[in-house]
Amino acid sequence: MTRLVVASGNAHKVAELRFTLADGAPGVDVLGLCDLPGPMPTIEETASTFAGNARLKAEGVAAWLRGQGEPPDTVVLADDSGLCVDALGGAPGVHSARFAGEDASDADNNRRLMAELERHGVHESPGHYVCVLALVRVDGGPVFGNQAAALFEGRWDVMVRRIARGDGGFGYDPHAWLDDRTVAELSPADKRSRSHRGRALRGLLERMRDGM
């Protein structure tokens, strides 16, 4: 049984990953930071890329787990994601979660996004969501053969519009359009099957099926 710790205190995220991996990669015991004793480590996301931040989170949590006496072959999975808007030169990008400030809500971030589109004089712009998953071992040893960190990336092209619709999903979804509807109008299952996160996760699952 491989122990996999999700580098997140978000019980919802952990439950979703547990559900997906139970089906696609049996033999993996999925835990979240909230399932482990002790205060959760805080890791600063200081990298300029999604991959860099996902790796910082995975390696930071691996180092913390090492200090807690976690077995060396436990693996840590971290993710970083966000929305990149062409007309804004790729912003908010890695700053998506805090576009309107440190403790910004989704509504605050969407207001800032709309203000930026207006400032650039556009009503819509192509954009894309990105999700990068990073998987490392607690002892820093190779994962899948010879890599110190295995990275899986998913991208989802959308049209970002000032007009918003729908109340599903989260974050920028009400402004992220696919043809005639927004991501906030998709069912959770439909979103999972098409999203940047779903794609990255399927990449990881394929590798895990071949064995750790």
Binding site for ligand IMP (CB under 6 A): 79-83, 96-97, 109, 129, 169-173, 195
Q: Shortest gap between Cβ of 210 and ligand IMP (angstroms)?
A: 27
Q: Which residue is nearest to ligand IMP (CB)?
A: 171
Between 57 and 137, whose beta carbon lies closer to ligand IMP?
A: 57
Between 66 and 194, whose beta carbon lies closer to ligand IMP?
A: 194
Q: Shortest gap between Cβ of 130 and ligand IMP (angstroms)?
A: 8
Between 137 and 174, whose beta carbon lies closer to ligand IMP?
A: 174
Q: Shortest gap between Cβ of 147 and ligand IMP (angstroms)?
A: 22
Residue 150 CB contacts under 8 Å (≥ 6 apart), including other chains: 134, 135, 136, 143, 144, 204, 207
Of 78, 79, 70, the C-alpha closest to 2 is: 70
Q: Shortest gap between Cβ of 82 and ligand IMP (angstroms)?
A: 4
Of 94, 202, 95, the C-alpha closest to 154 is: 202
Residue 126: strand pairing partners: 159
Q: Which residues of 163-177 are buried (b: 16+ CB within 10 A; e: fewer)?
A: ebebeebebbbbbbb
Q: What is the CA radius of gyration of the chain?
A: 18
Of the residues 80, 86, 103, 167, which is catalytic?
80
How far apart CA 127 and CA 156 sit, in angstroms, is 9
Between 64 and 129, whose beta carbon lies closer to ligand IMP?
A: 129
Question: Rounded to whole angstroms, what are the CA distances from 45 to 27, 42, 57, 58, 131?
Answer: 31, 10, 7, 11, 15
Respond yes or no: is residue 80 known to be catalytic: yes
- Give catalytic residues, as residue numbers: 80
